Chains A and B, each alone.
Chain A
């Protein structure tokens, strides 16, 4: 639907470098990256608010690189909601229809169902300054939807909301995506939001697009160590391949030997990515299992976090495992407990240093 073809642009001392990505119709596309990486600039470039220095932007195979924002049929929702403070809620929501030529009364009537849908009909005559954060966010979303955009652009829409309002808003966004079939592009630095909502995603670091693809693929099999760190892979170990037999490699990492699936040749430097929930702990010392990586270790710490617990185990190298609190209770895991740790070779994602 929208395609960036080697787009570069400079904004003061910041640069976006040769960004290429494709957002398909109906995608829930996440742009993630650390603060200052250029996510919002990229979003604003999609909206047409910045003109690229080089490269092309295509919408439905038609070049729109210099097309002004008002002609792109995109709607933008900022993190700070950006409601017009001098207009009532109903005038904020009907603003887009009015500037597109609809009469005031007609535009107001048109948006009433939208106000009801987002549960803000009772706020119609209020000014934004008198609304809570969650209410402002819903007004902002209703205003964007009112113009029936082809693409909805969201700039960290959840970051300023309390957890309960966040959950409600995530529900609103899911409905918009699934029931209305809207294409949504969301900027976020939250991995959790990406897990919950994204169908595809791009990772941007320091103005460079470092990974792009299906959300599950980017989150579970990142292309680089930086991406792995950013998407929150709990265990990343740097090592060297010592042997490889038909893609079944042996890697020395952190003073231990691991077996993993990769085409990396012996002598090649790699990073091993192990999700914390792919690590299995046992306390009876039984080392017989199908898992190719089994090692003895000692629990260093147990930190409970909601229904799960994060268990750090020193097995020559410190690894983090995530268990249910019930498992921690059943296994009587405390600091100092001797455990056996198992990881399947296929559960280890190998990033080659050369990639």
Chain B
């Protein structure tokens, strides 16, 4: 007797077609609960819940008066401010890529030493400082009488209440995000690959360009996105040196103190929508970039 026949004889099919034994087994099976995973989900869920609640709160308030939202969102002041903020953030990230990538590589490939530890701590300073302190540091250095501000203003590059001031403040606060991400990426590239490239005839820069950098692209993307996000969200650091031109966080603050909560809320909601859309798109676009099968 084959298995099919046997199954048929012992598990008669009820009207709905499922064997009786199977339904009994489903009914009687014991369900084990993983309390640890469940606990983690609840704790994490609470954290996400606060953000969701805050977003729901502002969304409900804004959707109650769509005409006002559209009026604010399409005003030239808001559009210009958003473009300025995103542009300044992108400029800061570009500068970080140019100056931060070599630094991250050197840090990744140098042996641990006291000097290296000091350099790493200096890089992390913007992470641990209150943003106002970061802003003050930038201001003192780049103001018209500052060590760097004075000679640069002599050649026509002013930072106080000017776009370069905004960019340099963003660069300062965003730098650890990019540099640390890039360094981690370079550290993950096996030194053997670089050694092989060198012996095959690649000079140091060719080896970096053809092996180390392509294999760290994902870290470059994620570091750049993080740094850009940090840069466009900066407020305290920027207003110290460049209250004008208004970046979006300054505009929201200005609107809050002069026009009240309703106007500032609409600007904030607009920024939330645009930022969410842009970051989602960026993540989608870079999802497959720099991925490789590293089972070698």
A69 to B190, CA, bound (A): 17
- Contact partner of A44 (CB less than 8 A), chosen from B111, B195, B211, is B195
Assess A82 versus B190: contact at CB under 8 Å? Given A74-B199, A99-B200. Answer: yes
Residue of A nearest to B203 (CB): A70
Q: Is the CB of B199 within 8 A of A69?
A: yes
Is A75 an interface residue, CB under 8 A from the partner? yes
B111 contact set on A, CB distance < 8 A: 12
Segment of A124-132, A208-216, A239-247, A274-282 in the binding face: A124-132
Is A47 an interface residue, CB under 8 A from the partner? yes
Is B40 an interface residue, CB under 8 A from the partner? no
- Contact partner of B292 (CB less than 8 A), chosen from A77, A78, A85, A149, is A85
Is B17 an interface residue, CB under 8 A from the partner? no
Is A18 an interface residue, CB under 8 A from the partner? no
B198 contact set on A, CB distance < 8 A: 47-49, 68-70
Is B295 an interface residue, CB under 8 A from the partner? yes
Is A72 an interface residue, CB under 8 A from the partner? yes
A76 contact set on B, CB distance < 8 A: 195-196, 199
Assess A86 versus B292: contact at CB under 8 Å? Given A12-B111, A99-B206. Answer: yes
- Contact partner of B193 (CB less than 8 A), chosen from A72, A82, A136, is A82
A12 contact set on B, CB distance < 8 A: 111
Q: Is the CB of A100 within 8 A of B201?
A: yes
Minimum CB–CB distance for B196 against chain A, Å: 5
Assess A72 versus B199: contact at CB under 8 Å? Given A80-B192, A82-B192, A82-B193. Answer: yes
Q: Is the CB of A78 within 8 A of B196?
A: yes
Q: Is the CB of A129 within 8 A of B201?
A: no
Is A147 an interface residue, CB under 8 A from the partner? yes
Assess A47 versus B200: contact at CB under 8 Å? Given A82-B190, A83-B296, A129-B293. Answer: no
Q: Is the CB of A136 within 8 A of B200?
A: no
Q: Is the CB of A78 within 8 A of B192?
A: yes
Minimum CB–CB distance for A111 against chain B, Å: 12
A32 to B77, CA, bound (A): 74
Residue of A nearest to B214 (CB): A86
Is B132 an interface residue, CB under 8 A from the partner? no
Assess A129 versus B199: contact at CB under 8 Å? Given A12-B111, A78-B192. Answer: no
Residue of B nearest to A99 (CB): B202
Q: Is the CB of A127 within 8 A of B293?
A: yes
Minimum CB–CB distance for B216 against chain A, Å: 10
Name the residue in B111, B195, B200, B211 with the highest tally of chain A Cβ atoms < 10 Å from its Cβ.
B200
Is B215 an interface residue, CB under 8 A from the partner? yes
Is A230 an interface residue, CB under 8 A from the partner? no
A96 to B204, CA, bound (A): 14
Task: Give the size category of B's interface with A.
Answer: 20 to 34
Assess A147 versus B296: contact at CB under 8 Å? Given A12-B111, A78-B192, A82-B190. Answer: no
A-contacting residues, B42-82, CB 8 Å: none
- Contact partner of A85 (CB less than 8 A), chosen from B202, B203, B294, is B294
Minimum CB–CB distance for A352 against chain B, Å: 41
A-contacting residues, B171-222, CB 8 Å: 190, 192-193, 195-204, 206-207, 210-211, 214-215
B202 contact set on A, CB distance < 8 A: 70, 95, 99
A127 contact set on B, CB distance < 8 A: 292-293
Assess A75 versus B199: contact at CB under 8 Å? Given A12-B111, A85-B215, A99-B210. Answer: yes
Residue of B nearest to A127 (CB): B293
Q: Is the CB of A143 within 8 A of B200?
A: yes
A277 to B211, CA, bound (A): 50
- Contact partner of A136 (CB less than 8 A), chosen from B196, B204, B206, B296, is B296
Per-residue contact bits, chain A 58-91, to B (CB 8 Å; 1 contact, 0 not): 0000000000111010111110111111100000
Is A9 an interface residue, CB under 8 A from the partner? no
Q: Is the CB of A84 within 8 A of B293?
A: no
A130 contact set on B, CB distance < 8 A: 293
A128 contact set on B, CB distance < 8 A: 293, 296
A348 to B214, CA, bound (A): 59
Residue of B nearest to A74 (CB): B199
Q: Is the CB of B294 within 8 A of A75?
A: no
Minimum CB–CB distance for A133 against chain B, Å: 10
Is A313 an interface residue, CB under 8 A from the partner? no
Residue of B nearest to A80 (CB): B192
Minimum CB–CB distance for A145 against chain B, Å: 11
Assess A47 versus B293: contact at CB under 8 Å? Given A96-B200, A96-B201. Answer: no
A69 to B154, CA, bound (A): 47
Q: Is the CB of B294 within 8 A of A129?
A: yes
B206 contact set on A, CB distance < 8 A: 99
Q: Is the CB of B293 within 8 A of A82?
A: no
Q: Is the CB of A95 within 8 A of B200?
A: yes
Per-residue contact bits, chain B 81-111, to A (CB 8 Å; 1 contact, 0 not): 0000000000000000000000000000001
Per-residue contact bits, chain B 273-296, to A (CB 8 Å; 1 contact, 0 not): 000000000000000000011111
Residue of A nearest to B112 (CB): A12
Is A198 an interface residue, CB under 8 A from the partner? no
A-contacting residues, B14-43, CB 8 Å: none
Q: Is the CB of B296 within 8 A of A47?
A: no
A129 contact set on B, CB distance < 8 A: 292-296
Residue of A nearest to B210 (CB): A99
Assess A84 versus B200: contact at CB under 8 Å? Given A129-B295, A129-B296. Answer: no
Minimum CB–CB distance for A218 against chain B, Å: 27
B-contacting residues, A111-131, CB 8 Å: 127-131
Minimum CB–CB distance for B193 against chain A, Å: 5
Minimum CB–CB distance for A345 against chain B, Å: 49
A51 to B66, CA, bound (A): 69
5 nearest CB pairs, A to B: A129-B293, A96-B200, A69-B198, A99-B202, A129-B295
A-B contact pairs, 6 of them (CB 8 A): A49-B199, A82-B192, A82-B296, A85-B295, A96-B200, A131-B296
Q: A96-B201, A129-B293, A131-B296 are in contact. List 11 more A-B contacts (CB 8 A).
A: A47-B198, A48-B198, A48-B199, A68-B203, A76-B195, A78-B196, A80-B190, A85-B294, A99-B210, A136-B296, A147-B201
